[in-house]
């Protein structure tokens, strides 16, 4: 399965593509960062990001899109721009007939590091190790996009384009499974870390 992970941002939008062969078999295909200048009008910035996402879908032909879920924060301007980019990704998935996965920041951190409260540097280091790269992906938006794709690959279970995204409603029922013979040790660690991070209410600030 080819997964395209998107780290949404209005100034920098990370786009990471990986191939997953099941279990922990993952390899990087490519990663890039779409950039826009703050002095441009917001609708033109969104159009530039849309074009980059559309190009990536057309060129790499992913089987699924995965994007980081947005949380409300003190910086309303930042979260508004990020949410607008998430909307673009959702629209791109629908337009292309692709399934869409949405993951919280703590889910992504727990999937790649084992801790839902890991620092950015830890995520970069683990993405480098998981994908067997010569150096950590830079900038951090590139590493985050790959981490989102890895998180989706390790979440487990088949994904279909008609599946409803019920995780937006929250609740304990939306937590990843922590038990089952089909789960790898890494998946169990991630599930337990996600439960712990949600109990502590960890929310990572998001930049514009």
User: Binding site for Mg(2+), residues?
Assistant: 7, 68, 141
Residue of 52, 107, 141, 144 with catalytic role: 141
Q: Which helix (H) or strand (E) holds 28?
A: strand 26-35
Contact by Cβ (8 Å): 25, 154? no
* Active site (annotated) includes residue 141: yes
* Active site (annotated) includes residue 162: no
3-state SS of 182-199 is CCCHHHHHHHHHHHHHHH
Residue of 7, 107, 194, 204 with catalytic role: 7
Contact by Cβ (8 Å): 109, 116? yes
Instruction: State whether residue 12 is helix, strand or coil.
Output: strand
Task: Give dist(CA 120, CA 17) in Å, integer.
Answer: 19
* Active site (annotated) includes residue 144: no
Contact by Cβ (8 Å): 91, 142? no
Instruction: State whether residue 98 is helix, strand or coil.
Output: coil
Q: Binding site residues, as ranges?
A: 7, 68, 141
Residue of 68, 107, 194, 204 with catalytic role: 68
Residue numbers annotated as active site: 7, 68, 141
């Amino acid at each position: 399965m080819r997964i395209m992970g998107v780290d949404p941002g209005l100034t920098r939008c990370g786009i990471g593509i990986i191939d997953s062969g099941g279990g922990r078999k993952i390899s990087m295909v490519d990663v890039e960062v779409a950039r826009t200048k703050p002095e441009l009008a917001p609708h033109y910035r969104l159009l530039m990001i849309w074009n980059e996402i559309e190009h990536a879908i057309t060129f790499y032909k992913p089987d699924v899109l995965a994007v980081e879920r947005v949380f409300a924060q003190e910086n309303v301007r930042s979260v508004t721009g990020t949410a607008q980019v998430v909307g673009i990704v959702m629209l791109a998935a629908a337009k292309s007939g692709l399934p869409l996965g949405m993951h919280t920041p703590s889910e992504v951190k727990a999937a790649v590091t084992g801790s839902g409260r890991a620092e950015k540097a830890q995520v970069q280091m683990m993405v480098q190790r998981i994908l067997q790269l010569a150096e950590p992906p830079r900038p951090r938006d590139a590493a985050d996009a790959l981490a989102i794709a890895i998180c989706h690959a390790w979440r487990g279970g088949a994904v279909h384009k008609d599946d409803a995204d019920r995780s937006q409603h929250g609740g304990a029922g939306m937590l990843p499974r922590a038990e089952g013979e089909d789960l790898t040790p890494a998946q169990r660690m991630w599930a337990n870390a996600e439960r712990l991070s949600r109990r502590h209410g960890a929310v990572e600030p998001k930049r514009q």
